[in-house]
Amino acid sequence: MTKQIAFLLALGWVAVTPVNSQQLWTGTLSDSMCGPSHQEIAAAGGLTQRQCIFECIKAQAKYVLVDGKNQVIPIANQDMAGFPLYVGRPVRLTGELKGNAIIVSKVEAIAAHLHLGHVMTNWRDTPSNVGFLIAALSDANVAAVHAKLASTVPDSLDQMKLHASHVMNALDPAVEPKGPGSGYGVKKAAAGALQHLEFAVQAEGATANIKAHSTHVSASLNNVLQWVDKAIATAQQIRSSPSAADAATLVAELVVLTTEINQGTDANNDGQIGWQTGEGGLQQAQMHMGLIMKGEGLATASR
């Protein structure tokens, strides 16, 4: 039998099929009508790129993959469950090439995008499972409100101490567990945002867009973490102040710090607040994350 098989192989009569013919492709999930460019149709209808693709699909266009060289690759099986979710977005397809079309067995997000989503749209243990940056902004607002409330009662040492405790709770409930904050805290949320942004930069599919704006976001988040530590230390001093006069001076500092956490500060006095070290706060981080998400074709809703 062995000799027979060897003989047939020598004649080319036995076809050998690869055990695993699955391949990987990366690109943007688009439609056959517009292909790599949706500008003309989208502009005419006032649509986003994603909306344009959906309209084309409704008009009997087919899902296609547009690779990094803007080459359009047909997709054989149009009924993959994940296609509507990822339409208009960079994806990685697993499948088999038959003729000139891909038979897709798996569609998934680019790894870098998953981490961007954790920064901006969802994370498993934040309040309401929002993104880290959204959680940080929410608690930072609470901290700023209570710092200002403390400044409205300069003659009441007890009230200033109470609001200082509320600021601490919003910034880091591990330091002060009781208060009006969400229970998550700016410090933990900003650190989580920074960590997952770094993951995104290092992950598969990190684009030049991600890498460029991530430096701006990182600088702002590092500023925030430093200001948070200073604000907590200032709030602790307020709580141990012996007189209302001493506390009031510290409260003024606390108002500045909580404002910087939210809005940043014009450290170099050039008339504007940038993202640079010592300037950018959570609002600058959010703005540049928005630029990243827009450049990647990703939604920025918090849910």
Query: β-pairing, 90-98 with 101-109?
Result: antiparallel
At 183, the amino acid letter reads: G
pTM attached to this predicted model = 0.76
Average pLDDT, the chain: 90
| Residue 199, pLDDT score | 97
Secondary structure of 22-74 in HEC code, one letter for each residue: CEEEEEEEEECCCCCCCHHHHHHHCCCHHHHHHHHHHCCCCEEEECCCCCEEE
In 3D space, the residue among 38, 17, 30 whose CA is nearest the CA of residue 93 turns out to be 30
Residue 173 CA neighbour count, 13 Å, CB half: 16
Cα angle: 108, vertex 99, 33; to 5 degrees: 65
For 201-206, what is the mean pLDDT? 91
Q: Model confidence at 148, in pLDDT bands (50, 70, 90)?
A: very high
Query: Has residue 227 got a pLDDT over 60?
Result: yes
Query: Has residue 196 got a pLDDT over 50?
Result: yes
Is the distance from CB of 172 to CB of 186 less than 8 angstroms?
yes
Helices (H), the chain: 2-11, 39-45, 49-58, 83-86, 111-120, 132-151, 157-171, 186-202, 208-239, 244-263, 282-296
Instruction: Please write down the long-range contacts of 37-44, taking CB distance under 8 Å and 24 or more positions apart.
Output: none
Q: pLDDT higher for 86 or 133?
A: 133
For 268, phi then psi, to 5°, come to -95, 5
Domains (range + CATH), the chain: 20-109 (2.40.50), 114-296 (no CATH)
Query: Has residue 8 got a pLDDT over 70?
Result: no
For 106-126, what is the mean pLDDT? 92
d(CA 86, CA 54): 11
| Residue 50, pLDDT score | 83
Query: Has residue 10 got a pLDDT over 80?
Result: no
| Residue 300, pLDDT score | 66
Return the structure tokens found at 28: 């943007």
Rg (CA), the chain: 27
Q: Model confidence at 26, in pLDDT bands (50, 70, 90)?
A: confident
Rounded to 10°, the helix 186-202/111-120 angle is 160
Tens of pLDDT along 243-292? 999 999 999 999 999 999 999 999 999 999 999 999 999 999 999 999 99
Query: Has residue 31 got a pLDDT over 90?
Result: yes
Is the distance from CB of 292 to CB of 217 less than 8 angstroms?
yes
